Amino acid sequence: MRYYFHVRGPDGFVEDLEGAEFASDELATVEAQAAARELMAAKVAKGEVVDGGQFEITTENGKIIDTILFKSVVKID
């Protein structure tokens, strides 16, 4: 099934028009978490503020299966 990782944040909504194929909702969620980590690492490397952005993972039918807060994938002690 095709899944889309739309970005919602302080600056608005960015629709993922391409999407990607995954065998299950769970695999799409794992990939979204990895992608969120990459986005957060890039922000930290640039000295940017880690904001309240998130992925909204949707199916090809538009059903939201999960929401991944970008801050939730970063571990800070």
Q: How far apart are the first and last CA of the chain?
A: 37
The per-residue pLDDT for 71 is 86
What pLDDT, in 10s, does the model give residues 25-54?
999 999 999 999 998 989 889 998 777 799
- Cα torsion 26, 75, 55, 40: sign: negative
pLDDT-above-70 percentage for the chain: 100
